[in-house]
Structure 1
Amino acid sequence: MSVNDRRAGGRGGGAAGSVVVLGATGFVGRHVCEVFDAAGWRVTGVARSVHGPATPYEMTALDVVDADAERIAELLAERGASTVVNAAGAVWQATEDDMTRANADLVRRLVSATAPLPARPRLVQLGSVHEYGPVPRTGITEDTPTAPVTPYGRSKLAGARALLDAAAEGRAEGVVLRVSNVSGPGTHRASLLGMVAHHLATSAPEPLRLAPLLAHRDFVDVRDVAAAALAAARSNTTGQVFNIGGGQATSVRSLVHRLTELAGAAAEIVEAPSAGGRPPEAEWQRMDIGRARRLLGWSPRRSLDDSLRDLLAHARAAAHREPLSSALQVTPTTMAVSDHR
């Protein structure tokens, strides 16, 4: 059965529908498309550029960050979308204005786009643990006060509130998934784990210099995040926040050491504060995922070891496709990292 032959159905009971995934070529968006496609949904992936390997689902080129609400509504109507998963956004190498436009303004326009549609689609907004900000050493529940301290966290919270307020007023239907730190195959090279995996995969001779790895953070595999989006699409719950994470605080230093063990490489990794940089953080983070278990029937299935192993395999495959000179040029050997997302 081809993707065009799949019938779009209703939600609930695991029935397939028609889903539009924004940010479909991104790290999380690609996996979301794959999970929905495997579950029998009619998938339309939307991204600024759709050039690349062929996919078993349809892809549409549209820069949703710049598109107005009318154009987004037209696309959703054309595709008969019963669900929209917003995996678009900006974090790496982005200005505060970029983050506001991609993480907050886009959600407001998405809400406006769905409001007048005859069959209003369900919105699944992929938020972030950074919406909570620093927290004491207790589990982060959905009732934990939100007090983000970074432009990224503030912009993601503004997007979440846009959907939650609209749902409370009956102008939208959907939920916010606040996702912890994501690992697994395809992790962005600008993130800590992605950077380390790339360094190990390219066998760069220079040491990789990082800020002191003092944090304990909650990590979840990207494929488990995609499964959570599918569970949220199948649910009839609306106007709620769900924490999506691994449910435990893990030493960031231990993860970096484990990556080096799995790589079996002799690459040198040095922890040292950067001159004139921010003091090292000793952040502690653990997501309480009980609500997602109870109401969505979701819980993470992949171990951190599996996630790290697949991350490393993906990084090695990517490095193998790159010219050696290019791979070494992008290896950050002198970067001090204070944000280990």
Structure 2
Amino acid sequence: MKSVVVLGGTGFIGRHVCEKLQREGWAITVPTRRAINAARVQHLPRVTVIETDVHDSGHLLDVLTDHDAVVNLVAILHGSEDDFERVHVELPLSIAEACAAAGVRRVVHVSALGASPDGPSRYQRSKARGEEVLRGAGLDLTILRPSVVFGAGDRFLNLFARLQETFPIVPLAGARTRFQPVWVEDVAQAVAVGLRSHALARNLGQGSVGQTIECVGPDVFTLADLVRLAGRYGSRERAIWPLPDLLARWQAAVFELAPGEPVMSRDNLDSMSIDNVATHEHPGLSTLAITPSSVHSVAPTYLGQRGGRSQLLNYRHSAGR
């Protein structure tokens, strides 16, 4: 039985990846600082949860030993320059070094659409540096670059639906920025295909693997469009007030002062200064024989509905793919 370490396996995308891989017969190890964070995956067949700190290089090597592959999903959206460097650059470097020491060749790394050394945000620039670290390590590597990811349990469309349940108007920064949202199940499927190195190489028409894949859905929306859809498919649709840039930055600065993870940061605004859509500089999901699902076909199954029927619809949609 093939074995894989899923770093970030307790997160939104990670839970779907673990479900997908265990159905394909992988033995999965999910490291986490606190086992309680893995409550949604530890019940899955062939999933082993271990408490450890993957940012400790010695602990990471212990985890990777005797495994066949690694999936890296660890990422942050907010933080200082040092925070982004630690998570998006230093961790990939530690992964590359641990893979070399443990004899692990196969790595699937989930980066981000818009990752660029010249990107306007710390997030985008650090994501690009992390990719380069792994590309230079001589690994059997696949990099996935998703646009914003949606699905049951997301912090994107669900957030906008909840805001419209509460407030009579939505003051919105970056309202005109365009996105190409991708369903979390399609990203999980891309990870699964990425782990099948020979199949992926064949799909790409290449003799070796090291390809970057752009993971996007079939439709392009402005952020304002997506907020309206979240309200429409949720409980109510509210009016949107597109914020001018100066007021948007003030709002983000205030959000950063609040306890917990901010709804929006100034670095997020920097990211949204450019559109988050396919560049066509790299292959898309169709290369992996994946036909991406649209927001229109999936979002109504979970937005504004918390009951069992909504979950059943979502499971049926997943099973039918």
TM-score for both structures, normalised by structure 2: 0.76
- Conservation of the 8 A alpha-carbon contact between 2:176 and 2:222: yes
Please state whether the residue corresponding to 2:213 is helix, strand or coil: strand
> Contact between 1:21 and 1:87, CA under 8 Å: does it hold in 2?
yes
Higher helix proportion (structure 1 or 2): 2
* Counterpart selection for 1:260 from 217, 222, 231: 231
Give, in whole Å, the separation in 2 of the partners of 1:22 and 1:312: 28
Matches within 5 A, 1:49-198: 49-51=34-36, 52-53=39-40, 54-56=42-44, 57-65=47-55, 67-68=56-57, 70-77=58-65, 80-92=66-78, 94-118=79-103, 120-132=104-116, 147-167=118-138, 172-188=139-155, 191=156, 193-198=157-162
Deviation per CA, 1:306-339: give whole Å up to 9, x if none.
332245257x47xxxxxxxxxxxxxxxxxxxxxx
Report the count of equivalent residues. Answer: 272
Task: Work out whether residues 104 and 158 of structure 1, in 8 Å CA contact, stay in contact via their aligned partners in 2.
Answer: yes
The amino acid across from 1:306 in the alignment is: S
Residue identity matched to 1:60: I
Alpha-carbon deviations, 1:122-169, whole Å to 9, x = none?
11110111214xxxxxxxxxxxxx5312101111111100111112xx
- After superposition, the C-alpha distances for 1:233-257 in whole angstroms (9 at most, x for unaligned) are 0123422222121254323222221
Q: Distance in 1 between matches of 2:168 and 2:219?
A: 33
2:70–2:107 CA contact under 8 A, matched in 1: yes
Q: Given the superposition, is the C-alpha separation of residues 230 and 21 from structure 1 closer, same or farther in structure 2, using an over 3 Å criterion?
A: same
Identity %: 26
Query: Is the CA contact 1:124–1:177 (under 8 Å) kept in the aligned structure 2?
Result: yes
RMSD over aligned Cα atoms: 2.6
Residue of structure 2 in register with 1:334 after alignment: none
C-alpha displacement at 1:206, in angstroms? 5.1
Q: Please state whether the residue corresponding to 1:243 is helix, strand or coil.
A: strand
Which residue pairs with 2:18 in the alignment?
33
The answer as to whether partners of 1:130 and 1:152 remain within 8 angstroms in 2 is: no
Aligned residues of 2:178 and 2:223 also touching (Cα < 8 A):
yes
Contact 2:33–2:52 under 8 Å retained in 1 = yes
Structure 2 gaps, min length 5: 199-207, 251-268, 308-321
SS of aligned partner of 1:115: helix
TM-score, length-scaled by structure 1 = 0.71
Secondary structure of 1:36's aligned partner: helix
